[in-house]
Structure 1
Amino acid sequence: MELQQYLLIVRRYWRSAIATLLLCVVIAAAVTLTQKPTYTASAALFLAVESGDTAGDLAQGATYAERQVKSFVSVATTAVVLQPVIDELKLDMTSTQLGKKLTVTSPTATTLIDVTSTDGDPAQAALLANTVADSLQKAVEKLSPAGVNGAKLVTATAIDPALAPTQPTAPRPTVNLALGLVLGMLLGVGQAVLRSVLDTRVRTVDDLENLTEAPLLGAIGHVDAPSDRALETEGQHWSNAEAYRRLRTNVGFVGLGGERRPSMVVTSSVGAEGKTETVVNLARVLAQAGESVLLIDADLRRPQVANRMRLDSEFGLSEVLSGKGSLQDMVIDVVPGSLAVLPAGTVPPNPSELLGSEAMAHLLATVERQYDHVLFDAPPLLPVTDAVVLAGQTAGAIMVARSGKVKRPEFEAAVGLLESGSVTLLGVVLNDAPANGSGSYGGYYAEYTSVPASDSVKAKREPVRARKRTNKVAEPVLEHQS
C-alpha cells in the first residue's frame, strides 16, 4: 500500500482518527495527573581486586573482578544485604518488597556498582540508597575470600553517596503527552486502515473499476435539493449537471462496434442506490440534446418514475402488456417531440411474466423504431429477476452503484446474475460519488465552478424565459435524492 493510499484512507476516516488521537492524549494526561510523584537517588561503589605483579596475574585479576562484580550485583537484592537495611531503618516490608524499589546495575567493563532507589519522599530515596550501599559494602567484606596473606581479595569502597533529588523522575508530563500523541497517531491510522480493509462497501471509482471490466459511464455527486427545482449553475449543482452530460456522451458510445440498439435497462444491485434518479436525469439530458427519448417505468413492484416527474400513474406499462390499453394512449409527452414517459401503471401480481412476455417483445420492437433512446427503469437485481428478464431483450443493462451503500460482494453477485442471463453489462455509474475523493470527477469540475455573480443570476433566469418561448427545457431539471 502506497503513501497516497494511506492518506486517502485517513482522509476518509479522519473523524475516528482524530477521536482516537484525542483519546490517547486525554488518557496520557489523566495518567500524568493521577500518578504520584516519585524520586530517584543513586549511590556508587567501587570494587577493587587484589592481583599479582605479572601481566598474567593482572589479566586473571581483571577477569576475576568482572565475575565478582556480577556476583555482588545479584547479592545486592538478596536478604543478606536488605534485611540489615530493613532492621536499621525499621521498614515495614520484606526483603522482596524492598528489592522492588531498588535497581542495582554495573556499567559494562567496569568494577562499579550503582545502587538506585525509588521513593515518594526524596530524602527517603537518598537514605535508602546510601543504607543499601553501606550494607552491600559490608556484605562484600564478609563474603569476599581471603588471600594467601589473609587479606580480602575483593574490597568495596563508596565513591559517590546518594543525594536527595530536587526533581521527581515521574510523572514526566512532556514525555507522557508526547507518547500519547505518537500512540494516538499510530492507533488512529491503524484503526482507519483496519476499517478500510474490513469495509466491503463500494465507495470510489477505483472500487468499481476493480470489480468489473465494464466501462465507467459516469460519477454523479450527491446534492440535496427539492425535486421540482431547476439545477443551479454553480458549485456542486453545476458539477452534477456536467456529470450527467458526461454520462449522456458516454451512453452515446455504448454499442459502437456491434449491434446498435436504442433500448437499455438501468438497474442496481440492491434498493436505494438511486437508479430511478439516474435514469430520469439521463432521459432529460438526452432530450435536451435533441434526441427523442422514451422513459419506461418497468419497476412493476415499486414504481417511482411517475411520482418523481409528477405524472398521472394510474395507467401505463402493465395495461399495455396486458392488452387493456394501447401504447399511444398510455404514453405521456413531457416535452413533445423530445421526452415521453410510459408510467408503470397498475402493479400486477406477476411482474416477471409480463416483462418476459411476447407482448413485451412486441412493445420493445415498436418503441425502438419510434425513439432514438428507450430507457427502462428496472427493479434491483438481487431481490428479484425482473431486470435480468427485461435486460435480456434489450441492448443491455447499466448498473448504478451508490457510494457507501452497496457492498462489493453484492455488486459482484449482481454482475454474476447478468452474466448468467447472457445480459451485456453496458457500463456502470457511481452515484453519490465523493466530491473530492480518489477516482471522482470533483476535481475536474472544480476549476469551472467559479462564475461571476452577474453571470450566475443571468444563468438562473435565462432557462425560465426559454421555457416560455419554446415549451422545452433549456437546462435540465434534474432529480435529486436526499
Structure 2
Amino acid sequence: MQIVRRYWRSTLATVFLCIALAAGFTVLQSPTYTATSSVFISVESGGTAGELSQGATYAERQVGSFISVATSAMVLQPVIDELVLDLSVKELAEKLSVSSPSATSIIKVSADDESAQRSADLANAVAASLQRSTEELAPPGPDGNRLVSATIIDQAVVPESPSAPLPGMNLALGGLLGLLLGFGQAVLRTVLDTRVRTTEDVADLTDAPVLAAIEHHEPSHVANRAATAGGGVQWASAEAYRKLRTSIGFVGLGGERRSSMVITSSVDSEGKTETATNLARVLALAGERVLLIDADLRRPAVGERLRIDSELGLSDVLTGRGSLHDLIIAMPPGHLSVLPAGTVPPNPSELLGSEAMQHLLATVERQYDYVLLDAPPLLPVTDAVILAAQTGGAVVVSRSGSVRRQQLATALSALESADATLLGVVLNDVPSLRADSYGYYTPTKVQPV
C-alpha cells in the first residue's frame, strides 16, 4: 500500500490506459457469431450388460480419433465444395472448434464466422460430413455391418447475438491487466529508486540518529516556515523543530560536549539553511543563547532568509577587516544573534580552516550556549568537512525523495574520513503520511518569549 500510495498517479494512469485500449479494441473488432452442432458416436454391441459396457468404452476411445478427423481434408473438403467457400482446408479448420465433453461419446462442432447464418451452415455441414466420414472409416463387423456409427443429435441454429467481442469482459480484463501493470511498474520503480525517502532508508546507511523528520508543505507555505526578523516563529512544522531542539539537547550527553555544530547537507537544495535558521529560532525561544553563523562563503543565504544586512560578516572578521563584536547582529527574540557571511572571498576553504577561524570558534563557544554554522553541502566542496572537524560535529539535512542513497553515503563517509562527529540526520520535506509526528499535534504559531 505504501508503494501504491507513492505511485498512485502512474498506477491509475496505467489502469485507465489499459481500459481505454480494451475499449478501442472492442470497438474496432468485428462481431463474430458462433454456432454449435453435436454428433453422437455409437458402437454396435451385443445385448448383454458386459458387451454394452465394452461398446461404450470403445466409443469413448474412438471419439478422440474422430475429433482429429473432423478438421481433416476428408471432412472439410466436401464442405468447401458444398457451400462453395473461397477457403482452403487450413483456413476453414481455423474457423472450427471441435471438442468432446469428458467421459462422453459426443463430439461438439463449433463454427465461428462474421455471418450468423454462415456460422450455422458451417457447423451443420461439418457435422454431416463427419457423419459420412465415420461410416467410411468405421471397421466392418462379422456380418458386414459397421461397428461404429455417427448420429447428429443437435443441429446448429442461427445465433441471435455475437459471441465476440464481449465489451464487459474486455473492459474487465483491461482493468485487471492495468492493475497488474500499474502495480508492477510501481514495484519496479521502487526497486530501482535509490532516493532517500524514509527514516528506514537513513538507518540503512548510518547508525547516527534521525534527529527529526520535517513534514512536506506546499510552496505557498514556504514563506511561513522561515524564521523572520519581525518577531515570532511562523511555520507549519513548528512541532518538528521543537523535536529537533530536544534531540539536539541530548546530543553529546555522556561525553565532552561542545556548543558548536555544523548544519550541512549532501548536495544543494536540501533545506540546510532553512533548518539552521529555524533551529536557531526555537533554541532562542527556549531561552538558550544562540549564535547563527553563515559559514557558506560561496553562496550565503542566511542574510537573505532573515532579511538582514549581510554585506559584512564572517569573512571580514577572519581577514581582520572587522571585529566580531561589531558585526554580530542581534535578532528577536533577544537570545538569538547572527553573524552573516560577509564579503564573498576567493579562498573560502583556506579561511574556514585558518587559525583565525579556530580562534573565533573558541571565543563564541564561551559566549553562547549554541553556535550553529550554516555550511555548504558536503559533496561539491570540502568547507563543511573542514568546519565539522573543528566544531562539535555536523548535522546533515537530507531532503526526502531528492538525495540519492549513494550521495548521502558518500557525504557521511567524507565526515568519517576527517574524524568529524556526525551528530545526526534531519530528514526534510517528508510526506505527511510518513513524517514521524503525533496525530494530536496541530500546526501552531510560536510566539516569542
| TM > 0.5 fold call | yes
Counterpart residue identity of residue 327, structure 2: M
CA shift for structure 1 position 380: 0.5
Aligned to 2:434: 438
In structure 1, stretches of 5+ residues that fail to align are 1-6, 452-458, 464-472, 475-482
Question: What does residue 291 of structure 1 align with?
Answer: 288
RMSD: 2.2
Equivalent residues in 2 for 1:88-99 (5 A)?
A: 88-99=82-93
Which residue matches 1:394? 391
Q: Deviations over 1:284-313 (max 9, x none)?
A: 111111111111111111111111112222
1:116 aligns with 2:113: no
Local SS of the residue matching 2:107: strand
CA contact (8 A) 1:321 1:359 kept: yes
Letter in 2 for 1:338: H
Q: Distance in 1 between matches of 2:263 and 2:240?
A: 17
Q: Is the 8 A contact 2:226 2:305 kept in 1?
A: no
The question of 1:449 aligning with 2:442 is answered: yes
Matched, 1:190 2:184: yes
1:171 aligns with 2:165: yes
Point out the more displaced range, 30-39 or 125-134: 30-39
Give deviations 1:399-455, integer Å, cap 9, x for gaps. 1011121111111111111111111110111111111x23432xx25x34389xxxx
For 2:237 and 2:136, the matched residues in 1 are separated by 91
Shift in Å, 1:66: 2.9
- Structure 2 segments unaligned to the other structure (5+ residues): 229-233
What is the CA-CA distance between 1:151 and the residue it aligns to? 1.1
Q: 1:132 aligns with which of 104, 115, 126?
A: 126
Residues 206 and 439 of structure 1 are in contact (CA less than 8 Å); yes or no, is this contact kept in structure 2? no
% same residue: 63
The alignment partner of 1:116 has SS state of strand
2:341 aligned with 1:344: yes
SS of aligned partner of 2:270 = coil
Query: Distance between the aligned counterparts of 1:229 and 1:430, measured in 2?
Result: 16
Q: State the match for 1:366 in structure 2.
A: 363
Which of 411, 416, 429 is 1:414 aligned to? 411
Q: Secondary structure at the match of 1:312?
A: coil
- 1:73, 1:228 → 2: CA distance? 79
The one-letter code matched in structure 1 to 2:182 is G
TM-score w.r.t. length of structure 2: 0.93
Aligned counterparts, 1:309-328, within 5 A: 309-328=306-325
Aligned letter for 2:179? M
Going from structure 1 to structure 2, the CA distance change for 1:450 and 1:391 (only over 3 Å counts) comes to closer
Partner of 1:428: 425
Q: Deviations over 1:336-373 (max 9, x none)?
A: 85111111122222222221121111111111001110
Distance, in Å, in 2 between the alignment partners of 1:89 and 1:287 is 98
CA contact (8 A) 2:264 2:384 kept: yes
Does 2:264 match 1:267?
A: yes
Structure 1: distance between partners of 2:182 and 2:327: 58
1:255 aligns to 2:248 (yes or no)? no
2:278 is aligned with what amino acid? N
Displacement after TM superposition at 1:325 (Å)? 2.4
1:227, CA displacement in angstroms? 4.1
Name the SS for the 2:371 alignment partner.
Answer: strand
1:46·1:159 contact (CA, 8 Å) conserved in 2?
Answer: yes
Tell me which of 226, 244, 249 is aligned to 2:241: 244
Q: In the alignment, does 2:136 pair up with 1:142? A: yes
- Residue matched to 1:67: 61
Q: Which residue of 1 aligns with 2:231?
A: none
> 2:74 is matched with which residue: 77, 80, 98?
80
CA contact (8 A) 1:204 1:440 kept: no
Q: Distance in 1 between matches of 2:443 and 2:377?
A: 38
Residue 329 (structure 1) shift: 2.3
User: Are the aligned partners of 2:36 and 2:120 in contact in 1 as well (CA < 8 Å)?
Assistant: yes
Q: In structure 2, how many angstroms separate the alpha carbons of the residues matched to 1:219 and 1:21?
A: 33
More off after superposition, 61-70 vs 260-269: 61-70
Q: Distance in 2 between matches of 1:81 and 1:251?
A: 89
Write the letter of the residue equivalent to 1:430: L
SS at match of 1:311: coil
**AA partner of residue 164 (structure 1):** V
Alignment check: 8 A CA contact 1:403 1:433 kept: yes
Whether the 8 Å contact between 1:206 and 1:438 is mirrored in structure 2 is no
CA distance in 2, matches of 1:450, 1:302: 31
Could you tell me how far apart the structure 1 residues matched to 2:69 and 2:209 are?
A: 77
Distance 1:239 1:335 in 2: 20
Tell me what 2:42 maps to: 48
- Measured in 1, the distance between the counterparts of 2:361 and 2:330 equals 18
Conserved in 2, the CA contact under 8 Å of 1:204 and 1:434?
Answer: no
Corresponding letter in the other structure for 2:247: N
Q: 1:27, CA displacement in angstroms?
A: 1.4
Letter of the 2:184 counterpart: G
Aligned amino acid, residue 329 of structure 1 = D
* C-alpha spacing 1:228/1:37, structure 2 compared with 1 (3 Å): closer
- What displacement does 1:208 show? 2.1
Please report how far the alpha carbon of residue 122 of structure 1 lies from its aligned counterpart in structure 2 after TM superposition.
1.4
Structure 2 counterpart of 1:22: 16
- Check 1:337–1:448 CA distance in 2 against 1; reply closer, same or farther (3 A cut): closer
**What SS does the corresponding residue of 1:392 show, helix, strand or coil?**
helix
CA distance in 1, matches of 2:225, 2:345: 32
| 8 Å CA contact 2:138, 2:147 repeated in 1 | yes
Task: Name the SS for the 2:390 alignment partner.
Answer: coil
